[in-house]
Amino acid sequence: MELRHLRYFEAVARHSHVTRAAAELHIAQPALSKQISQLEHELGVALFDRVGRNVRLTEAGESLLPHARAVMAQVEAGRAEMAERIGLRKGRATVGAPPTVGTQLLPAVLANFNKRYPGIELRLHESGVQTLLDLLETGLTDVAVVTLPVEDENLTVVPIFTEEMVIAVWRDHPLAERGEVTISELQGEPWVLSPENYELRESVLLACEQAGFAPRVVLDGGETDTLMHFVAAGMGIALVPRLAVQGSTNLVSLRVSDQHLERSLGVVWRGDRVASPAARALREFLVEQLRRP
């Protein structure tokens, strides 16, 4: 068993999808599948069940995952200790964020960070809040932008801003000219939803429940950016942060007038661990660049 096998295994387990994991790892999907098969052959057990295009951990895979993450965290800790010896001329730092933040805010911020610290290699994890908190716990992410509140006394939390949640519709939708809408008016509309591990999904279900109905779901499980493409194509509507529709010419955002819906974001990191110089520089830069009055 080699370290790369554990890294590949952890990525596939986190994404529940070989192709998405391969894209993150910058390797071809067939090559990744072969590496996973080699690991399974070496261990003598199946680590994943294949379900259509997705995969899910077997019982053996569930048992291996925390060990794999612990080994990877130890390796990262060793790299961090070595980085202390050379300061910010070299290093590596990992940031996690929900897709809307990764798409709309981080490109410019991380590009500026790279200009200031060109020797630091950056890694990005895009996922829901619970997955990001798990990655912080295991040491696989140094700092994350997450939806607040978070309940963990070991996390340092710096609020950065609060944004309005809106209903996204395609530009030719009958409601597109309204400007605002009530959730209760949307009972008969088709909805597209985020995956189960995303807090955005729970916000939709709760808002509809408070309005007295369950949403009629026509698409279940897409990343936020992907969902916006389905909304723009006229397939359904979605409740999303305003950031998600920012800059789109094919989408219209409608304010919600009968419920107070918003999300607050914060930069968080483990306060009970010693961070590398690169990780400290990254979290300070994120707070500096993202914090709004």
What mean pLDDT value characterizes the chain?
A: 91
Tens of pLDDT, residue by residue over 225-244, are 899 999 999 999 999 999 99
pTM: 0.68
Which of 21-25, 237-241, 281-285 is the least confident region? 21-25
Question: What is the mean predicted confidence (pLDDT) over 191-204?
Answer: 88
What are the C-alpha distances in Å from 53 to residues 21, 24, 56, 65, 195? 12, 17, 10, 21, 15
CATH of domain 1-72: 1.10.10.10
- What is the reported pLDDT for 87? 62
Residues 133-139 have a mean pLDDT of: 90
pLDDT of residue 195: 84
Helix then strand then coil, in percent of the chain rounded to 5, is 45, 25, 30
Poorest-confidence range of 200-204, 219-223, 255-259, 266-270? 219-223
Domain boundaries, the chain: 1-72, 161-264
The pLDDT of 186-193, averaged and rounded, is: 96
* H helices present in 18-105, as ranges: 18-25, 29-43, 59-84, 99-104
Average pLDDT over residues 270-284: 89
pLDDT at 85: 58
Q: What is the pLDDT of residues 63-116, one digit of tens each?
A: 999 999 989 888 887 777 676 556 677 788 999 999 889 989 999 999 999 999
- Tell me what pLDDT residue 231 has: 97
pLDDT at residue 34 is higher than 80: yes
Of 76 and 165, the structure prediction assigns the larger pLDDT to 165
Of the chain, the percentage scoring pLDDT greater than 90 comes to: 71
- In CATH, the architecture of 161-264 is 3-Layer(aba) Sandwich (3.40)
H helices of the chain, in order, are 3-15, 18-25, 29-43, 59-84, 99-104, 106-116, 129-138, 199-210, 224-232, 277-290
User: Which tops the pLDDT comparison, 95 or 222?
Assistant: 95
